[in-house]
Structure 1
Amino acid sequence: MQLAFSAAEIAVIVQPLSSKGSTSATVQGIASLSSARPGDLSFLGNPKYKTEVAATTASIVLLPPDYTGEPAPDQQFLFVEKPSVALARLCARIEQLLWPKPAPGIHPTAVIAADAHIDASATIGPMCVIEEGVVIGARTHVQAQAFIGRNARIGADCWLMPRVSVSTECVIKDRVRLQVGVIIGSDGFGYEFMQGRHEKVPQVGNVVLENDVEIGANSTLDRARFSRTVIGEGTKIDNLVQIGHNVVIGKHCLICAQAGVSGSTTIEDYVVLGGQAGIAGHLTIGKGSKVDGQTGVNSDLAPGSFVKGSPCMPYNLEQRFNVLKKKLPDLFKRVDALETVAEELKKSSAA
């Protein structure tokens, strides 16, 4: 699909604080500052690229309010509070055009239990399976081959993409987005070693996703051993993330790709876990903490912590260790040289 937005239409979407210049071009693409051509829209999302604004030939550029340069002829600068956010709003409009939700209704190949309640404004795609007692709210879109288990609850304005699985008794509240292959409510990983064998511990709790949660492709969230595994309002989870049983994650957290959180850990509000971070079980990660990528956390973190490394330590201290590690080969050479000198002095003194 080719884009076709006038400057006026883009201004309505991004709501600029002010503007400079004008353009008669129709925006037909989005590109980086360096690669943009006339007819493209670009943006300055990172100050690192500020020097590229003057040379860009993009027809429209989204800029922060403090940018002081002037547009070229037939070029318009739109000054917005956050260019990346303004671009996201434009992309949301494009997304609606590219992937519009189909008309409400149930595809004839879907298998729906007789007592399931599906709002008349919802959409159920091909070959979905909806079991007994399920409730699906208004304007929710369930795409092809999704599975909704017995007595699960799905709220309003949700979007479940192909092959999503929501297991028995799980609860998904409003405006939740689950990407392809997400599994909500798989069994928690619980076993007790008895008489030479691993005996399975039944996992009889559920998973609750609060409003505005988003889960990336092929991520898995285990049901609780008892009670609930909870993902708080507005939290965003990336692809290929594993959340263990009885984990409680607070509001507006960010969990990046391939991170893993072991069972019964509590992650408080506004925490960020970098990619491939690993969190041991039965811990508390304090509000607003940041865990760098590939960090291993095996003890509680106080609110506002910033940690790195495995085992983790304060970020700046770990960075100093990383600098010193690079100097170790030279340090060993110097120590060897000093030992040689010391041995020679010892022999000379003895003589």
Structure 2
Amino acid sequence: MLVSFSPEEIMAIVKPSATRGATTATIRGIASLKSARSGDLSFLGSAKYKADAAASQASILLVPADYAGDPKGEQSLLLVENPSLALSRICARIEQLLWPKPPSGVHPSAFVAETAQVDETATIGPLCVVEADAKIGAGTQVQSGVHIGRGAKIGAQCWLMPGVVVTAECQIGDRVRLQPGVVIGSDGFGYEFVQGRHEKVPQIGNVVLGDDVEIGANSTIDRARIGSTIVGEGTKVDNLVQVAHGVIIGKHCILCAQVGISGSTTIEDYVVLGGQAGVGGHITLGKGTKVGGQTGLSTDTAPGSFVNGTPARPYVLERRLEVLHARLPELFKRMDAVEVGLKKSSSSSPVGQDAAQ
């Protein structure tokens, strides 16, 4: 990692509430608490690693504001509200150094239609295609092999990584990141079964991504049959996620890897979908709903719900049922023993005893 930060530069980035100790070492790497050496920066992200923090040889340690430990010689403790977030801000600076922006302009191997509008501060990389009437905003980076369809609109300061496809008429807000292989605006999966054949239903809508959205590698968001498939401001989508036609996703949602959302479903703001969760069509997940990994949903959820399992149930109930499920073999054995005992008791009773009583 070719980085170099002075202690003063680190403090300017993370803005600690307090410091303990001091170091003059230049920071040239980031390492775990155990592996860090002089010249490294590390952080305490969980209380269970306090012992590792106390023993760490890192020159600079990012620690919570309530951390009680003392620094070693030539070590600086920077007390911050959230060490993980502070580290992320340092890494954002490193990212800018490791992947500097190429010069603005259009690469000679790219094709840009005459009626397309590309801001003079944008970058169009090798072998890209920008079709007629497309618009690309200020400071946006379009890396190699990206296809931007007719009439598509890309906002300012976006980052479209290699192999991205944005199809006709789709709209992307500002500061959007599309990881390699993302497809925005593929046809929705719609067919009518007519006289023994599947007849394609035209998908003439588009996709609209809000500001600060990020879509992970090889994820796909289908265009709507009519109207728009929408992903709201600040929503983050992991790799290999499928969003079907006409879905509306609210603001600041999290969709983990391999989530699948069926058509015409509404995901309200601040919803979290765990990995491989499957969401049925034409339902609504209320604001703030949390969905466990591999959960299958086929009905609406109330705002603030926490559900798990297939079919989806309230998380606490589903966990109790899981415990009971594991006990079923034991319960069946006990029931079998009870039945055997009852049969033996019945067969050993003297004939006519019940009548005599």
**1:123 corresponds to which residue?**
123
**2:355 corresponds to which residue?**
none
**2:276, 2:146 → 1: CA distance?**
28
**2:261 corresponds to which residue?**
261
**2:296 corresponds to which residue?**
296
Output one character per residue of 1:89-128: Cα deviation in whole Å (capped at 9) or x when no partner: 0000000000011010100000110111100000000000
User: Match for 2:190: what amino acid?
Assistant: G
**1:200 corresponds to which residue?**
200
Q: State the secondary structure of the residue aligned to 2:347.
A: helix
**1:25, 1:339 → 2: CA distance?**
77
Cα offset, 1:254, TM superposition? 0.4
What TM-score results when the alignment is normalised by the length of structure 1?
0.98
**1:342, 1:81 → 2: CA distance?**
66
Q: State the secondary structure of the residue aligned to 1:233.
A: coil
User: Match for 1:223: what amino acid?
Assistant: R
**1:179, 1:350 → 2: CA distance?**
81
User: Match for 2:100: what amino acid?
Assistant: P
**2:350, 2:70 → 1: CA distance?**
80
Output one character per residue of 1:265-313: Cα deviation in whole Å (capped at 9) or x when no partner: 0000000000000000001000001001000010000000000001100
Output one character per residue of 1:137-174: Cα deviation in whole Å (capped at 9) or x when no partner: 10000000000000000110000000100000000011
Q: State the secondary structure of the residue aligned to 1:53.
A: helix
User: Match for 2:328: what amino acid?
Assistant: L
**1:33, 1:21 → 2: CA distance?**
17
* Root-mean-square deviation over aligned CA pairs: 1.1
Unpaired runs of at least 5, structure 1: none
**1:350, 1:8 → 2: CA distance?**
96
Q: State the secondary structure of the residue aligned to 2:76.
A: strand
User: Match for 2:349: what amino acid?
Assistant: S
**1:15, 1:80 → 2: CA distance?**
8
**2:287 corresponds to which residue?**
287
**2:65, 2:334 → 1: CA distance?**
54
**1:138, 1:24 → 2: CA distance?**
40
The structure with the largest alpha-carbon Rg is 2
User: Match for 2:92: what amino acid?
Assistant: A
Aligned pairs, number: 351
Q: Which moved more, 1:45-54 or 1:284-293?
A: 45-54
Correspondence list, 1:148-167, <5 A: 148-167=148-167
Q: State the secondary structure of the residue aligned to 2:275.
A: coil
**2:339, 2:240 → 1: CA distance?**
51
Output one character per residue of 1:51-106: Cα deviation in whole Å (capped at 9) or x when no partner: 32212222111111111111122111111111111111000000000001101010
What TM-score results when the alignment is normalised by the length of structure 2?
0.96
**2:339, 2:62 → 1: CA distance?**
62
User: Match for 2:20: what amino acid?
Assistant: K
Output one character per residue of 1:252-273: Cα deviation in whole Å (capped at 9) or x when no partner: 0000000011000000000000
Unpaired runs of at least 5, structure 2: 352-357
**1:193, 1:350 → 2: CA distance?**
70
Q: Which moved more, 1:310-319 or 1:45-54?
A: 45-54
**1:349, 1:53 → 2: CA distance?**
73
Correspondence list, 1:21-36, <5 A: 21-36=21-36
Q: Does 1:248 align with 2:256?
A: no
User: Match for 1:326: what amino acid?
Assistant: A
Q: State the secondary structure of the residue aligned to 2:184.
A: strand
**1:326, 1:140 → 2: CA distance?**
54
**2:156, 2:235 → 1: CA distance?**
17
Correspondence list, 1:1-351, <5 A: 1-350=1-350
**1:331, 1:42 → 2: CA distance?**
51
**1:35, 1:230 → 2: CA distance?**
44
Q: State the secondary structure of the residue aligned to 2:325.
A: helix
Q: State the secondary structure of the residue aligned to 1:63.
A: strand
**2:339, 2:280 → 1: CA distance?**
43
Cα offset, 1:350, TM superposition? 4.4
Q: State the secondary structure of the residue aligned to 2:349.
A: helix
Q: State the secondary structure of the residue aligned to 1:57.
A: coil
Output one character per residue of 1:315-344: Cα deviation in whole Å (capped at 9) or x when no partner: 011111122222222222222222222222
User: Match for 1:91: what amino acid?
Assistant: C
Q: Which moved more, 1:235-244 or 1:330-339?
A: 330-339
- Say if 1:332 and 1:143 are closer, same or farther in 2 by CA, change over 3 A: same
Output one character per residue of 1:25-75: Cα deviation in whole Å (capped at 9) or x when no partner: 222221222222222211122233233221222211111111111112211
**1:44, 1:314 → 2: CA distance?**
33
Q: State the secondary structure of the residue aligned to 1:230.
A: strand
Between the aligned residues of both structures, percent identity stands at 64
**1:40, 1:89 → 2: CA distance?**
16
Q: Which moved more, 1:232-241 or 1:56-65?
A: 56-65
Output one character per residue of 1:200-232: Cα deviation in whole Å (capped at 9) or x when no partner: 000000000010000000000000000000000
